[in-house]
Structure 1
Amino acid sequence: MKTMIRKYGMMGTKDLCEITLINDNDVHATILNYGATLERFEIPTPTGRENIIMSLETPENYSKERNYLGGTVGRVAGRIRRGLWHHDHTFTKLPINEGENSLHGGGDHGLDNRPWDFRTACDDHSAKAIFTLYDPDGSNNYPGNMKIMVTYELDNDNNLHYNITAYTDKTTLFNPTNHTYFRLDGPHANVEDLKMQINADYYVPVDDTTMPVEGIRKVDNSVFDFRKAKRLGDVINDKKEHQIAVRGGLDHPFILNGNGPAAVIESAKSKRKLTMTTDAPSVVVFTANGFNHQGAMRNLGNHDGVTLEAQVAPEMGADLDAFVLVPGEKFERNVNWHIDY
């Protein structure tokens, strides 16, 4: 096990660095302290290594425009209707940045686009990168001074573990996620031929702006039934299902049933398999709809990856109570990605 650090720039007075975790199997996980972002996840091949997540061409490109690729997203991942939070007889107005709603925390400065402090640790069993961020009271109009810590840990069983913990000194909203897009067959194939299985009996229907509309609904007899693995392309190109057609693919929360792993993605072509486990109650599945080879994301196209965003589903916090974090309470969430190849 070993770690490597490379400085590639500065933001204000903060260094911008790539931190690479390497296990004894030559699996590499490269993380940016910009946004505590998983930049690359590489596995060995007969000719070198191949990256199995969506990544930009250079680390410098991540700060050129907002993209959320691999980032730590929050304070609240997903959308808050009209940016309004009603709590304790008061209304808090959060920044609007997608139509009339607040997306991924809103505002110009989220968890995903600021440099975090970091340190590394390594022993015979794993290599770690530990990131910390102080998010002040009033940041994007969210109350509470927050201390947030994210840890990436790679072990010799090819597990990449993601842990986020946080504390606040005022009652606030907190429902972050990691926004890594997996692609398994490398940078020259999209995800349509991959098979995906999700242990979820319910999903959350959404309207044309991706806001929840009617609570949860059973996946039975619908395109959203992934309890048995099926080809992603058969779902995301289904023009008969309005929710798929209007979004250009999947962009939906799935309520996990606790049976086995949260999700499994497999490639028949490369024989690679990603198994995801989490202590979050749901995952939001987004199939990179609308990427179009523009700007800093010029190397990325439609359906080039799929995210499995571990979080509390919007329907479970329709009044946002499920997102509330209070002083003295520790927030913690864990995600594990295991790769077979």
Structure 2
Amino acid sequence: MKVVKISQRKFGESAILYSLTNDLGTTMNVTDLGARIVDLIVPINGEQRNIILGFDSAEEYLEKDMYFGATIGRVAGRIKKGLFTIEDQNYSLPVDRENGNILHGGPNSFEAKIWSAKTEESDDKVSVVFSYISPDGENGFPGELEAVVTYSLTNKNEWIIDYQAVADQPTLYNPTNHVYFNLTGDMSQSVGTHELFVDADRFAVVGNDTTTTGELRAVLNTPFDFNQASKLDQVFSASYEQNKLVNGLDHPFILNQTGFETPQAIITAPTKDLSVEMYTDRPAVVIFTAQFGEAGPEVRGQKLVNHGGLTLETQVSPGAVEFEGFGDIVLSPETTFNSRTIFKINN
């Protein structure tokens, strides 16, 4: 009997919230503001636990943090000095005042747009298909780019993200999703007691401005070694120069394998009653541990503690436009961009 379902309602003045529920009782709420995930509510021992960070209205995102749960693009992460070259053509993008770099595609990018949306249903999943046309020259990027991001919730308790894009000129494209997990559902608890597994032998070293330096360093004998599941406190309590630099993690991990046979990362709740497995075809995952200090926003009535969330941002590693061996993020008009990431909930 088919019991997956989908509904929608207003989410502030101009946005719409879509609610997807599967036959296991998991509910995923997503919105057309930034093609973002707002809630991921999982039944655990008779309670409904929201395991991601999010806000209750579109206006809260605009006021507090536009990256929570959003689709990021055109390019996730930082491009140093906003400079890149394609086919001997030099481009200069708008940069921030703090460090003179561009972050997550620049100001008012994918995360701030109202995307077109349509819903789809089948026997084993419900989906929302988001689409956005980024005009030629938006934030300095060349070419008109048609982006499609599909969120599906399956009866296997999977949240599937499918990315597609085409462009009419050679351009850069390296999207991700900026979801923050906290599997306790309690934003006043640090994720330090969460266990993390990451199938990665190397990470990208970052400099003082958090851009990659070009060095790929072995995780062995560092606090960044999660090849065996370990508590995140091993990073927060260590005096290693890379985690002290950013007060946690804000680093690309280079994955040992990609695909959908075995997970590349696993987050496990402190009480071991819930875990989330990550599967991706992307070669790297940027892990950020929400080191907002005292500046963390109020999330659903709770003040967000420092290190109160954890991202798994699947992508080609930042630095790809600067350094050989970091990957290629050029999208040509002859190519359709396709990528998939799956988060599987085990409860």
Secondary structure class of the residue paired with 1:64: helix
Aligned to 1:72: 71
2:11 paired with 1:5:
no
**In 2: Cα distance, 1:321 partner to 1:287 partner:** 24
CA contact (8 A) 1:237 1:245 kept: no
**In 1: Cα distance, 2:233 partner to 2:57 partner:** 29
Aligned to 2:225: 225
2:281 paired with 1:288:
no
CA contact (8 A) 1:237 1:244 kept: no
1:310 to 304, 309, 314: 314
What letter matches 2:281 in structure 1? D
Aligned to 1:43: 42
Say what the alpha-carbon RMSD is for the aligned residues: 1.8
What letter matches 2:10 in structure 1? K
Instruction: Please list the CA deviations of residues 77-110 of structure 1 after superposition, one character each: whole Å capped at 9, or x if unmatched.
Output: 1000101112333321101024111111113x20
CA contact (8 A) 1:39 1:59 kept: no
CA contact (8 A) 1:31 1:37 kept: yes
- The aligned runs of 1:84-95 (5 Å cut-off) are 84-95=83-94
**In 2: Cα distance, 1:174 partner to 1:210 partner:** 20
Shift of 1:66: 4.2
- The aligned runs of 1:148-159 (5 Å cut-off) are 148-159=147-158
Aligned to 1:272: 274
CA contact (8 A) 1:237 1:249 kept: no
Instruction: Please list the CA deviations of residues 10-30 of structure 1 after superposition, one character each: whole Å capped at 9, or x if unmatched.
Output: 3xxxx4100011001110000
Shift of 1:65: 4.5
What letter matches 2:134 in structure 1? D
43-52 vs 216-225, which deviates more? Answer: 43-52
Identity of aligned residues (%): 34
CA contact (8 A) 2:12 2:58 kept: no
Instruction: Please list the CA deviations of residues 187-217 of structure 1 after superposition, one character each: whole Å capped at 9, or x if unmatched.
Output: 2422110010000111111111111124211
State the number of aligned residues. Answer: 335
Instruction: Please list the CA deviations of residues 261-312 of structure 1 after superposition, one character each: whole Å capped at 9, or x if unmatched.
Output: 1100112415211100000000011001125355666732311110010000
Q: 1:296 to 1:167 in 2, by over 3 A?
A: farther
**In 2: Cα distance, 1:45 partner to 1:268 partner:** 13
2:328 paired with 1:331:
no
Q: 1:137 to 1:214 in 2, by over 3 A?
A: closer
266-275 vs 137-146, which deviates more? Answer: 266-275
Secondary structure class of the residue paired with 1:62: helix
**In 1: Cα distance, 2:74 partner to 2:141 partner:** 8
Gapped regions of structure 2 (runs ≥ 5): none
Instruction: Please list the CA deviations of residues 103-146 of structure 1 after superposition, one character each: whole Å capped at 9, or x if unmatched.
Output: 11113x20011110101111221110110101100100111111
Shift of 1:332: 1.3
TM-score (norm 2): 0.92
Aligned to 1:102: 102
- The aligned runs of 1:51-62 (5 Å cut-off) are 51-62=50-61
Q: 1:321 to 1:249 in 2, by over 3 A?
A: closer
Q: 1:264 to 1:42 in 2, by over 3 A?
A: same
Secondary structure class of the residue paired with 1:63: helix
Q: 1:317 to 1:138 in 2, by over 3 A?
A: closer
TM-score (norm 1): 0.93
**In 2: Cα distance, 1:119 partner to 1:60 partner:** 22
Following superposition, which runs of at least 4 residues in structure 1 exceed 4 angstroms of deviation?
A: 293-298
Q: 1:199 to 1:317 in 2, by over 3 A?
A: farther
Aligned to 2:264: 262
2:340 paired with 1:340:
no
Aligned to 2:243: 244
Aligned to 1:129: 128
Instruction: Please list the CA deviations of residues 153-189 of structure 1 after superposition, one character each: whole Å capped at 9, or x if unmatched.
Output: 0111101101111100011111111000111111242
Shift of 1:226: 0.8
